[in-house]
Every structure is written in C-alpha cells, then in structure tokens.
C-alpha cells in the first residue's frame, strides 16, 4: 500500500512540475492523461500477474513495465530539470521554463525507445581474459561461457532464450555457467520457455547456481527442472573437470540470501570446495552475488563468476548499485581471487537498458605473466 501511495504522489509531483509549463492546453492535457495511465498501469502490472490466464497476465505486465520504465526516467529528468531551474533562477533565465518542460517528456520517450531496443536485442559477446598465477599449461585457454540474470518471465520468453542459447553455442566453450536469476515465475508457467537451455553445448557441460529470484519463484522446483534438462546445479558443492590431463574445480554456492527461504541452502564457499583435490590447477566458484567474494577468497578460490547487479541496467540507477554490492561490473581483484561480475544477459522489470549493456561473457583463463 505504501508503494502505491508513493507512486501516486510521485506522479502528481511530475504533473505539477511539468504540465503547467507545457505550451497550450492540448499538450498539457495529453501529458496528464499519460501520467494517469502510468499511475494505473504500474500497479496493475504486479496485480495482473496473479491472473489465471497467462496471456492476460503477460499483457498487463508488458503495459505496466513499459510505463514503469518511462515513469522512472521521467521522474529523474523532472528532478534534474528542477535543479537546472533553481540554478538558473538567480540569473533570470525565464526562457528555460517552457523549453525544459517540453524537453523532459520527449527525452524520456527517446531514452525509453533506445533502452527498449537495447534490452530486447540479443546480448553481445564480451571477451574477458583472466590471468591466473600457476595455471597449468593444460588449462591455458580454458573458456567458460557465462550467462546470468536472464529473468525469464512475463516479458522474456522462449524465443529470447533460444537466441541466447544459439549465441552461446557458437562460442564452442569448454563449459557454460549460468550464474542465477534465470527465472521470474513458477515452473508450471515457464518450463516451456526455459527448455531451450537443454540445447546448450560445451565440452564439459552446463552448470547453474541459484539467484535470489529463484527463491521468489520456487527454488526447489526449479532445481529439479534444470536437472531434468541436463543442467548441473551446484548447491554448495563442486565437480572436478579433467581437462587435457589437468584438474579444474567447478564449484557453486546458493544465493547469499538463500537461508532466508531454506536454512539448508545457506551460502557456504568453504563447504563448496571441501574435498576438492589439492592438485587442482584452477578453482572456479559460481556465486550469484558479488558479495560472496570475501568468503570465496578465504576458501581459496582463484576465480569467482557472479551477476546480480545488471550493471545498474539503466541510467541513473547504475550509479547506485555500488552502494549495495562491492563490485558492479567487470573484472576485479581481492587478494588472490579474481571476481568477474556480469551485467546480465537479460533484464528485470522495465524492458530498458541504457549505459549498462547486456552481455554473454566468454571468460578465458591464461597463465599470469
């Protein structure tokens, strides 16, 4: 209820600051109609998901998420406009009032359109080279194709997933890692749309770790479904991959918030590596949230692959992600541990990406110079 009232008040604020300064009654009235529609559609997107008819629920979600993307951008631009007007007020630049009132909704629309195209376009491949000290020659050039945060749900369906699978298969990776937040919904509603993952191809197979959204969506059912598709779920455990005579430990932990949903799933990097061969040439941890890095370093891992942040997904929220996670995107170092944080392969909520492009990551390990 609080969120509903807050949304209404913020819509009122935008209308109060922009509509009176638009040139003429028709543009002002049209803008108010759009604001009212936005204020109604955003909550309906969440309420509508409870509909028994999936097509109806998805239509409400599409409309509401598009409205949310436009509204959130509009809100930021309105706030920025107020700052500009406040700074210009002592200078007596009155001409800015009308021109900026026109610019704000038009710019929000343009940003929304560009962001929509970015979000719906299949993620590009990002090449990342990770130098590992003491890496055996047999593991030099070992590659992992990482996908993360696809968020299959109301606006992301099977064809979107199939395009990702096709792009990954072209990489010819040694292994595929899916680092959580694959779904936003129940198995009975989304299984058919996740099914393309069964076609992922690599030398050593596909590995998965849970993200926080799996726990919102019925993690136990999804774990069983992914195992049925041939995806190996690593739940605070590891497998040993023998590659050209060398051993690589591929480990995974449950999401760092998993214990709130099931105490047995408490994220534990130490448990994940327990019993791993001492002569392993490379120890890789899959962990949905970058915040697992400190425990991963203490457990003795060489590399951690994560997601969760989306790189902020779109401006200006990408400026605030670092307040919640130690690493927002890209390659970082903590003691002996390399952490790579993906910006995600899909999107969550509004179909909008700006300033934080989606990615399919091809991680290649090389010996440190």
Cα 238 to Cα 266: distance, rounded to the nearest angstrom: 15
Q: Please state, for a pLDDT cut of 70, what percent of the chain lies above it.
A: 97
154-198: per-residue pLDDT in tens? 999 999 999 999 999 999 999 999 999 999 999 999 999 999 999
Q: Please state, for a pLDDT cut of 90, what percent of the chain lies above it.
A: 82
The two three-digit tokens of residue 6, written as one number: 């807050």
- Region 215-234: what's the mean pLDDT? 97
**What pLDDT shows up at residue 171?**
98
| 210, pLDDT greater than 80 | yes
**What pLDDT shows up at residue 9?**
94
251-276: per-residue pLDDT in tens? 999 999 999 999 999 999 999 999 99
The two three-digit tokens of residue 53, written as one number: 């008819």
CATH topology of domain 125-367: Purple Acid Phosphatase; chain A, domain 2 (3.60.21)
43-95: per-residue pLDDT in tens? 888 776 666 677 788 888 999 999 999 999 999 999 999 999 988 877 666 66
> Which band of pLDDT confidence, cut at 50, 70 and 90, is reported for residue 320?
confident
**What pLDDT shows up at residue 315?**
78
Measured from the Cβ of residue 312, the count of other Cβ atoms closer than 10 Å reads: 20
User: What's the predicted TM-score (pTM) here?
Assistant: 0.93
Cα 178 to Cα 291: distance, rounded to the nearest angstrom: 17
* Number of helical (H) and strand (E) elements in the chain, helices listed first: 10, 12
Helical residues (DSSP H) of 19-136, grouped into ranges: 25-47, 54-88, 96-120
Domain boundaries, given as residue ranges, for the chain: 2-120, 125-367
Q: Are strands 337-341 and 330-334 parallel, antiparallel or unpaired?
A: antiparallel
Q: Are strands 237-243 and 246-252 parallel, antiparallel or unpaired?
A: antiparallel
CB 282 within 8 A of CB 132: yes
The two three-digit tokens of residue 137, written as one number: 């020659």
90-143: per-residue pLDDT in tens? 766 666 888 899 999 999 999 999 999 999 999 999 999 999 999 999 999 999
In sequence order, the β-bridge partners of residue 183 are 152
Q: Specify the 3-state DSSP secondary structure of 318.
A: helix
| 324, pLDDT greater than 90 | no
Q: What is the mean pLDDT of the chain?
A: 93
């Amino acid at each position: 209820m609080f969120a509903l009232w807050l949304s209404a008040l913020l819509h009122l604020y935008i209308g109060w600051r922009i509509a009176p300064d638009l040139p003429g009654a028709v543009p002002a009235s049209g803008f108010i109609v759009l604001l009212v529609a936005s204020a109604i559609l955003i909550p309906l997107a969440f309420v509508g998901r409870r509909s028994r008819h999936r097509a109806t629920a998805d239509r409400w979600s599409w409309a509401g998420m598009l409205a949310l993307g436009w509204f959130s951008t509009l809100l930021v631009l309105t706030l920025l406009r107020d700052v500009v007007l406040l700074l210009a007020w002592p200078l007596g630049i009155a001409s800015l009032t009308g021109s900026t009132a026109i610019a704000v909704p038009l710019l929000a629309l343009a940003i929304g359109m560009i962001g929509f195209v970015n979000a719906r376009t299949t993620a590009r491949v990002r090449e990342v080279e990770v130098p590992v000290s003491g890496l055996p020659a047999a593991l030099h050039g070992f590659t992992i194709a990482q996908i993360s945060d696809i968020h299959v749900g109301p606006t992301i369906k099977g064809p979107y997933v199939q395009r990702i699978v096709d792009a990954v298969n072209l990489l010819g990776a040694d292994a595929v890692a899916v680092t959580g937040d694959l779904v936003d919904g129940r198995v009975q509603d989304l299984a058919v749309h996740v099914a393309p993952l069964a076609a992922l191809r690599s030398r050593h197979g596909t590995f998965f770790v849970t993200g926080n959204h799996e726990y919102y969506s019925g993690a136990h059912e999804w774990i069983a479904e992914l195992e049925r598709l041939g995806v190996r779920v690593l739940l605070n455990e590891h497998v040993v991959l023998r590659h050209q005579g060398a051993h690589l430990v591929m480990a995974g932990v449950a999401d760092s918030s998993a214990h709130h949903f099931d105490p047995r799933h408490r994220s534990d990097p130490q448990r994940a590596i327990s019993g791993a061969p001492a002569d392993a040439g490379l120890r890789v941890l899959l962990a949905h949230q970058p915040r697992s890095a400190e425990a991963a370093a203490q457990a003795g891992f060489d590399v951690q692959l994560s997601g969760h942040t989306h790189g902020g997904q779109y401006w200006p929220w990408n400026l605030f992600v670092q307040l919640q996670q130690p690493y927002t995107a890209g390659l970082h170092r903590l003691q002996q541990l390399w952490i790579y944080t993906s910006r995600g392969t899909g999107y969550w909520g509004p179909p909008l990406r700006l300033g934080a492009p989606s990615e399919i990551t091809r991680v290649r390990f090389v010996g440190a110079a």
